[in-house]
Amino acid sequence: MQNIFHVLEQRGFIQDATSEQISELLHHPITLYAGFDPTADSLHLGNLVGLIALGWFQRLGHKPIALVGGATGMVGDPSGKSIERNLLDEAALAHNLKGIRQSIQSVLGSEVEVLNNFDWMQKFSYIDFLRDIGKHFRMGTLLAKESVRTRLSSDEGLSYTEFSYQLLQAYDFVHLSEHHGVSLQIGGSDQWGNITAGTELVRRMRSKTVHGLTFPLLTRSDGKKFGKTEDGAIWLNEEKLSVYDFYQYLIRIPDEDVIPMMKKLTFMSMEEIHEIEVEMSQSTYRANSAQKVLARNITEIVHGKKGVEKAELITQAASPGAVTLLDAKTLENLALQIPSKKLPLNQLQTMTLLDLLIFSGFLSSKGEARRLVKNGGVYLNNEKMDDTDLQIDAINLVENRFLLLGIGKKKKMVIRVE
């Protein structure tokens, strides 16, 4: 059996471990877990690191458990946060938990065990929890946690509710160890304090040794977090972010970030990754080809092969100057992935290209639109436009129903003509 510790180590997953002997433990099949708080109704690209880590354990004969925090989500984890999270009610939590389960199963399969800590935490009364769990914690240790110290020294401060989070999460480890045979918790580096609180509570309450392992948070070469854009997070669920936009985000990853992302966000072999790394260093390297491999692999993991086919078909169809023949079916699919607007035919026939650009909402003035056309940045049905006074008519329509308007390489809109 291949040692999972060595696999994770060579791919850059290992940051901290509770024991130097943890690799010996992983010579044999174990049950482990990672937790995901339901702060939204989908996981995002940053969460994918934890899911891929669980996936490697799964592939190498271990049993992963994905824990969603129905109880801890009501409290809010202060780790890595400068202000207190908004508290969610039960209805919002139930909605978010459903979406997060979808994210988890899209990566790990429907057979993965997904548990909700609300199932056991709801059985505690406040007095019972203080008496049975709280007595095992020492204030000095709790206050020494980095996430607590950081918030205590901030203007926002730290509420008692958030301060209690680490007690709740620590008890999860006790429950999972006792009822599911879990011996390892993994998580991002910002979870180190919560994880060690859990290993210590298991030792105190059950006289057992369990372990914790953290991986670095997913960051770009400039130090910023991955998965955040001007428009928001890069969500894993298609209801939150189209497959096309997900794929496009990955296609635009800078060269220096491609190899680290291949190691942490795909199941590609190290040999294949090394070959691509060598290719990227050569003068014959074709720009952006590594990004296409990255985008295909990650999109297939999250959205399946059909998701990749859809994203690549739409990408090809929406590319400025593309030779792909645009048809109604392609543009119908594209309209589900990118912005679209409806426009009556009689109104369209009174418009010039400049009017259409203003109608799209991408540009605010005809002067700005005129400059963009003259600079070669406007496309109609993937053809570059150079006539600012072009009169739009039915002859420009694809199958008498659609227009594809492009501004530069990124902004596109399908216009449905009625």
pLDDT at position 227 is 63
Q: Is 254 a residue whose pLDDT tops 80?
A: yes
Question: Where does the pLDDT of residue 175 fall: very low under 50, low under 70, confident under 90, or very high at 90 and above?
Answer: very high
For residues 176 and 184, give the distance between their C-alpha atoms in angstroms, rounded to a whole number. Answer: 10
What would the CATH number be for the domain defined by 329-417? Answer: 3.10.290.10
* Paired tokens of 291: 């990004």
266 has a pLDDT exceeding 90: yes
Contact 402, 416 (CB under 8 A): yes
In terms of average pLDDT, the best of 136-150, 156-170, 239-253 is 239-253
- Can you read off the two tokens belonging to residue 396? 């420009």
Q: How confident is the model over 316-343, as pLDDT tens digits?
A: 777 765 545 678 877 887 887 788 899 8
CA 295, CA 22: separation in Å to the nearest integer? Answer: 33
Residue 172: band (very low, low, confident or very high) from pLDDT cuts 50, 70, 90? very high
pLDDT of residue 219: 87
Per-residue pLDDT, averaged over 304-327, amounts to 77
Predicted pLDDT of residue 117: 93
The predicted model scores a pTM of 0.82
pLDDT of residue 182: 98
Assign 78 to helix, strand or coil: coil
Helix (H) or strand (E) holding 120: helix 118-121
Provide the pLDDT for residue 9.
95
- Distance of alpha carbon 345 from alpha carbon 236, whole angstroms: 37
Task: Please give the average per-residue pLDDT across 121-131, as a whole number.
Answer: 89
Range with the lowest mean pLDDT among 216-225, 305-314, 325-334, 365-374?
A: 325-334
Question: Whose CA is closest to 412, among 345, 307, 302, 326?
Answer: 326
Q: CB-based burial of residue 360 (10 Å sphere; 0-12 exposed, 13-18 middle, 19+ buried)?
A: buried
Same fold, 4-215 and 329-417: no
Average pLDDT (407-413) is 82
Superfamily of domain 242-317: Tyrosyl-Transfer RNA Synthetase (1.10.240.10)
Strands 340-343 and 411-417: what pairing? parallel
Average pLDDT value for residue range 84-112? 87
Residues of the chain with pLDDT > 90, as a percent, come to: 48
pLDDT in tens, 30-89: 999 999 989 899 999 999 999 999 999 999 999 999 999 888 877 765 555 545 556 677
Q: What per-residue confidence (pLDDT) applies to 79?
A: 59
Q: Strand 211-215 relative to strand 16-17: parallel, antiparallel, unpaired? A: antiparallel
Average of pLDDT values for 388-408?
85
Across residues 247-270, what is the average pLDDT? 95
Closest to 129 (Cα-Cα) out of 96, 92, 175, 192:
175
Distance CA 207, CA 174 (A): 11
Contact 275, 306 (CB under 8 A): no
Domain segments of the chain as ranges? 4-215, 242-317, 329-417
> What is 4-215's CATH topology?
Rossmann fold (3.40.50)
Whether 33 and 117 have beta carbons less than 8 Å apart is answered as no
Q: What's the whole-number average pLDDT of the chain?
A: 88
Q: Which pLDDT band, with edges at 50, 70 and 90, does 13 fall under?
A: very high
Please give the pLDDT value at position 82.
Answer: 47
pLDDT number for residue 92: 86
Question: Would you call 34 helix, strand, or coil by DSSP?
Answer: strand
Instruction: Decide: helix, strand or coil at residue 341.
Output: strand
Q: Which amino acid is at 322?
A: A
Residue-by-residue DSSP string for 258-292? HHHHHHHH----HHHHHHHHHHHTSTTPPTTHHHH
Tell me the average pLDDT across 268-280.
97
